[in-house]
Structure 1
Amino acid sequence: MYKGYLIDLDGTMFNGDERIEGAADFIHRLNDAKIPYMFVTNSGARTPEETLKKFKSHGIETSIEHIYTSALAAVDYVKENDKTNIYAVGSDSFKETLMNNELTLVDYHADAVLFSYDTHINYEKYVNAVQNVLEGAELILTNPDKVIRHKDKFIPGNGSLASVVVSATGVEPIVVGKPNAYILQKALEKIGVDQKGVAMIGDNYDTDIMTGIQGSIDTIHVNTGVHRTEDVMKKEVPPTHAVENLLDWAL
């Protein structure tokens, strides 16, 4: 039916350390059929190499060329806008991704503040982020997720954590991750398929499904993560398709 797929990770391919039924089989079928696909994830906490290891631990056979994270989208964005001195909030792996792509990390006088999910966020990091933004640094969020699923519970996401900086500065951030059009267009460029022939697969209506809706591409909702099928189908604009898991989706 579709010539290519953009696929979410957390809540779609796996839930933390828990496997999701049908995920590995779906990627196996894509590989066998030689259908282009790109994993498009709002998680910038892992490097692409770490993400690949996580795939393998869940029995999902793929390659690093199929992985496009919000951290990589942030790298592309700041480079395109000639910003190289970065104050980064995020995991060590997030910062490693930035440095591996020739960005300079600074504490003060930054060109941009890149805010990614940080489980060790503290007051000092907030102070530095706010100060840099007030001095003119562009505030860029890797993703706006207000809540994410972790094992058997839901926890605050990057959008909730970053709201402190937004509130303190009054500056609305640039969001490079889903549902922003930036990460969608970059992913489409990478798989080389026109948006009319692509479907976006995900569990989160506010990010995954809205990426497709706002980008005028078809969407497939899976009932394996944040939002339940019965809830998303009641939305004013529901997903194009809804399945329990990817075992139910025929290529």
Structure 2
Amino acid sequence: MPSYKGYFIDLDGTMYKGKTKIPEAAAFIKRLREAKCELMFVTNNSTKSPDQVAANLSNNHDILTAKEEVYTTALATADYLNQVADKQHRTVYTVGESGLNDALIGAGFTFSENNPDYVVVGLDSDVTYHKLEVAVLNIRRGSKFIGTNADSNLPNERGMVPGAGSLVKMVEYATQVKPIMIGKPERIIMDMALKRSGLKRDEVIMVGDNYNTDVLAGMGAEIDTLLVYSGLSTKEQVQTKAKLPTYQVDTLDDWKFE
């Protein structure tokens, strides 16, 4: 198998399942570090800061991680807006949590409920009618509509709860405006991750458990993909697809590299 300088790695379903460890994950990361590969954990989670994600990996899953190795859809959203916004148009309104808000503040954006340049909708466990109302009215008045990611549901101990995509769809329905989507399976998060890493497309592989997010994101960005059957996608589902991942493994222990 070819060697890669960098690995973009999904989290839930690949490194862990909720609060449950995936036994092969820590050993996989250890092997990559020993091989001097660059790592970036690429996640659609916009609610947590890189510090929080790194702490969870380090403290709960035996995967020692620095915050600089974590790339959330919140950071990707901030990087994308920083790229497209000029100096005069840097106000935002968000439906989201601290991870998203902190990333936008860090990129130099300010918050406004009145005619912001951008309305960003992400996962928000404290969402209210008022928040959605402000988002909808501003988009209908001309604010550009950004969605962090299209995940319809998230797994937790109670079951499949609504994900960010459910809120994005609600706002889309009320405005009849299609958002610019940032997270997997869209290409934007991959392009932003590549830019941040400094690596070329053929130097990186995307590793994940979900064909419809991780693999399609890699394909869309012309990046090789490794699908591991430790999470969502099954072999039966994947074999029906017109285009297969570059590589497929049952567990991360099965991945051999130079």
TM-score (norm 1): 0.93
Give the distance between the partners of 1:101 and 1:71, measured in 2 at CA.
Answer: 11
Pair 1:27-2:33 in alignment: no
Question: In the alignment, which residue of structure 2 is the partner of 1:139?
Answer: 145
Question: In the alignment, which residue of structure 1 is the partner of 2:92?
Answer: 86
The 1:215–1:163 alpha-carbon spacing in structure 2 relative to 1, beyond 3 Å, is: same
Superposed CA deviations along residues 96-143 of structure 1, whole A, max 9, x for unmatched, are 232233221222211101111112222111111101101111110111
Q: Please list every run of 5 or more consecutive structure 1 residues that lacks an aligned counterpart in the other structure.
A: none
Give the distance between the partners of 2:127 and 2:23, measured in 1 at CA.
Answer: 33
Give the distance between the partners of 2:106 and 2:96, measured in 1 at CA.
Answer: 15
Paired residue secondary structure (2:23): coil
Question: In the alignment, which residue of structure 2 is the partner of 1:51?
Answer: 53
Report percent identity of matched pairs: 38
| Large movers: runs of 4+ above 3 Å | none
- Native 8 Å contact 2:24 2:253 kept in 1: yes
Counting only pairs closer than 5 Å after superposition, residues 161-172 of structure 1 correspond to structure 2 as 161-172=167-178
**What's the CA shift for 1:161?**
1.9
Counting only pairs closer than 5 Å after superposition, residues 122-133 of structure 1 correspond to structure 2 as 122-133=128-139
Further displaced range: 129-138 or 73-82: 73-82
Give the distance between the partners of 1:56 and 1:197, measured in 2 at CA.
Answer: 26
Superposed CA deviations along residues 206-233 of structure 1, whole A, max 9, x for unmatched, are 2111011212222111222222232122
Q: 1:186 is matched with which residue: 192, 195, 205? A: 192
Q: CA RMSD in A?
A: 1.6
Pair 1:61-2:67 in alignment: no
Give the distance between the partners of 1:235 and 1:126, measured in 2 at CA.
Answer: 36
Counting only pairs closer than 5 Å after superposition, residues 1-251 of structure 1 correspond to structure 2 as 1-3=2-4, 4-57=6-59, 58-82=61-85, 83-151=89-157, 153-251=159-257
Give the distance between the partners of 1:119 and 1:226, measured in 2 at CA.
Answer: 23
Paired residue secondary structure (1:45): coil
**What's the CA shift for 1:151?**
4.0
TM-score (norm 2): 0.91
The 1:71–1:63 alpha-carbon spacing in structure 2 relative to 1, beyond 3 Å, is: same
Supply the AA of the counterpart residue of 1:240: T
Further displaced range: 94-103 or 15-24: 94-103
Superposed CA deviations along residues 133-174 of structure 1, whole A, max 9, x for unmatched, are 011111101111122322473232211221011011111100
Further displaced range: 163-172 or 119-128: 119-128
- Give the length in aligned residue pairs: 251
Superposed CA deviations along residues 47-72 of structure 1, whole A, max 9, x for unmatched, are 01111111112110121221111101
Q: Please list every run of 5 or more consecutive structure 2 residues that lacks an aligned counterpart in the other structure.
A: none
Paired residue secondary structure (1:236): coil
Give the distance between the partners of 1:74 and 1:205, measured in 2 at CA.
Answer: 22
Further displaced range: 97-106 or 46-55: 97-106
- Native 8 Å contact 1:21 1:245 kept in 2: no
The 1:224–1:151 alpha-carbon spacing in structure 2 relative to 1, beyond 3 Å, is: farther
- Native 8 Å contact 1:87 1:105 kept in 2: yes
